Amino acid sequence: MSRQYRKFDADFKHGAVQLVFETGKPIAQVARDLGINEGTLGNWCAGERRRRENGNAALSEDERAELVRLYRGGHRAADAA
């Protein structure tokens, strides 16, 4: 059985990232509000941060901590299913 993936257009992605950056709300909260996976939104935000920094910067400590948290949280949720 194949897995179904939702497609998001560029406008939706941009709007979701802007909600995180402009409101200061946590990625997890914005993702819940929009009904999307927090890891997906986290990836979009990290990509935008890299684009804003011309793609030359490594992940910040905060970004790395957020990715670790999302990674660990994802495994707990997957194991519970």
Spell out a b/e string for 3-29, using b for 16 or more CB atoms within 10 Å of the CB, else e: eeeeebeeeebeebbebbeeeeeebbe
pLDDT tens per residue across span 26-69: 999 999 999 999 999 999 999 998 888 775 656 777 888 888 88
CB contact at 8 A, 13 and 21: no
pLDDT tens per residue across span 2-24: 788 889 999 999 999 999 999 99
Separation between Cα atoms, residue 9 and residue 35, nearest integer Å: 15
pTM (global) more than 0.75: no
Kindly list the domain boundaries of the chain, sorted by start residue. 10-80
Among candidates 29, 27, 35, 32, which has minimal Cα distance to 8? 35
